[in-house]
Amino acid sequence: MGKGMKAGKKSKPEGQGKGMQQQLAQVQMMQQQMASVQDEIDKMEASASSGGGAITATVNGKREIVSIKIEKDVVDPEDVEMLQDLIMTAVNEALRQMEEIAENEMSKVTGGLGIPGL
């Protein structure tokens, strides 16, 4: 072993520490930007309708149902299944739209890095 070297430790090439610090700073900045964008997404809403507008569902960026509007003429006690299907269709479409909005907003920050779950 050479003078000043310890077993099991390798010396870092010059500049490697600064590069890592710069990468860490970039990652932290991206995390802050993503948190900010997520806050904005959480405030957004998307609406979708089904049955020719008989049912309208609105969801927010937190993927919570904000409202469901049902036209009176679509309510038929003899055909509850149709009403359930219309509600499900409207809610699922609103959720799909919100997911698309969230992906588009996040891709502005990530630059299309393809980070899973974002």
Write out the chain's pLDDT in tens, 118 residues: 556 556 655 555 555 678 888 888 888 888 899 999 999 999 999 999 999 999 999 999 999 999 999 999 999 999 999 999 999 999 999 999 999 999 999 888 877 565 555 4
Q: Give the separation between CA 24 and CA 114, rounded to whole angstroms.
A: 19
Handedness of CA 80, 84, 87, 93 (dihedral sign): negative
Q: Where residue 93 sits, what CATH number does that domain have?
A: 3.30.1310.10
Domain extent, residue 80, equals 47-110
Residue 31 lies in a domain: no
At 56, which helix (H) or strand (E)?
A: strand 55-60
Residue 60 lies in a domain: yes
